[in-house]
Structure 1
Amino acid sequence: MAANEQHYVMERGQVDRPTKVLIVVAPYYRDIADDMIAGAKAEIEAWGATHDLIEVPGALEVPTAIAMAGRMSNYDAFVALGCVIRGETTHYDTVCNDSSRGITLLGLQGLCIGNGILTVENRPQAEARANPKDQNKGGGAAAAALHLVALSRKWGASKGNVGFKPVAEEYKLAGDPDTPTA
């Protein structure tokens, strides 16, 4: 079982300026979701960032909500939380694959997302992974999102005079009635 293995965990960072994180949770299993939310909130606060929380009906809606927030809000990072426990049908595979694929595609578009949607075989596995005092996957997803914010700020810093520059007044086209001529 994974709990018996040693895992490398990156050193906790800190944010260099105000950072807002949106936690998007599918609380189908309320107790599991609550543990993951607690872990995510604690990690975000330890980094010095702030957070908001929204709930969606299920894991398939998590990527859609993140995409909407990415377009319509000013969050710096997103934490996707939920739990899918294998059942008797192939619905498990669809939910696991499609929610993960949606989150990955959003990340490839530049959103800083930590994926904390658990995909497990049974409830004891979910409980161990969600528990902030055990595997703390909610906290791990929050840390992943914030590490990506740090990378985006490092690489997205201004590079100086790059790109198009405004045309100086004396070089504007003659004949434009709105353009003063030299």
Structure 2
Amino acid sequence: MAAAEQHYILPRPTFDKPVKILIVVSPYYKDIADNMIAGAKAEIDACGATYDIVEVPGALEIPTAIGIAERMSNFDGYVALGCVIRGETTHYETVCNDSSRALQLLGLQGLCIGNGILTVETRKQAEVRADPADQNKGGGAAAAALHLVALTRKWGASRKGVGFVPAQDEYQIAGTSKGTPTA
């Protein structure tokens, strides 16, 4: 296997107020999940943030758990960790595509999510990517979530609730101010 290409890594963000992250993990491949959790925890600790961890059965449940947590708790960001290894059926494509799409939709609604769901061909690929001393994809997912939290704090206050906000509640519409009834 060729060595991984070197790439630029952003400096760690700094925070003036506490940051609380939820790590949502599917431990389907427990050893791989444990390595990813170790990488994520180390990155979160290095930024001075705190975290909770919740386990779900599989990668498809990760976005749902994040959506529930966003509606019912007070986390600043989320780290999605899991592993999908290609098998003999099309289930691989369904799990990969749907979990990724759901996380992306949550992110587009304003949630700060680092996607660390590995989608690989072989167990060996997963082991290399999960290893905190090698590719450390768990740490990378945590870093992504922390950078998004920093960006959110830079640009404004967080808003609660998952789902699209009706336009009249979010934007000025043809001469009316935000919050003004449109008849």
2:107 aligns to what?
107
Moved more, 6-15 or 32-41: 6-15
1:89 aligns to what?
89
Contact persistence 1:25–1:62 (CA under 8 A): yes
Q: Which has the larger radius of gyration?
A: 1
How far apart in 1 are the matches of 2:141 and 2:99? 15
2:16 aligns to what?
16
* Superposition map of 1:16-165 within 5 A: 16-156=16-156
Counterpart AA for 1:138: G
How far apart in 2 are the matches of 1:164 and 1:62? 34
How far apart in 1 are the matches of 2:37 and 2:135? 13
After superposition, what is the alpha-carbon deviation per residue over 1:75-119, rounded to whole angstroms, capped at 9, x for unaligned? 000000000000000000000000000000000000000000000
Structure 2 segments unaligned to the other structure (5+ residues): 159-176
After superposition, what is the alpha-carbon deviation per residue over 1:127-147, rounded to whole angstroms, capped at 9, x for unaligned? 000000000000000000000
1:23 counterpart SS class = strand
After superposition, what is the alpha-carbon deviation per residue over 1:147-179, rounded to whole angstroms, capped at 9, x for unaligned? 000000000159xxxx779xxxxxxxxxxxxxx
Moved more, 37-46 or 149-158: 149-158
TM-score, normalising length from structure 1? Answer: 0.85
How far apart in 1 are the matches of 2:142 and 2:49? 10
Counterpart AA for 2:100: S
How far apart in 2 are the matches of 1:81 and 1:164? 38
Structure 1 segments unaligned to the other structure (5+ residues): 166-182
Contact persistence 1:3–1:135 (CA under 8 A): no
After superposition, what is the alpha-carbon deviation per residue over 1:40-86, rounded to whole angstroms, capped at 9, x for unaligned? 00000100000000000000000000000000000000000000000
Shift of the 52–2 alpha-carbon distance from structure 1 to 2, 3 Å rule, reads farther
TM-score, normalising length from structure 2? Answer: 0.84
Aligned residues: 161
Contact persistence 1:19–1:49 (CA under 8 A): yes
Shift of the 3–129 alpha-carbon distance from structure 1 to 2, 3 Å rule, reads farther
Contact persistence 1:114–1:144 (CA under 8 A): yes
How far apart in 2 are the matches of 1:15 and 1:54? 24
1:4 counterpart SS class = coil
**1:13, distance to aligned residue in structure 2 (A):** 1.6
**1:12, distance to aligned residue in structure 2 (A):** 1.2
2:173 aligns to what?
none
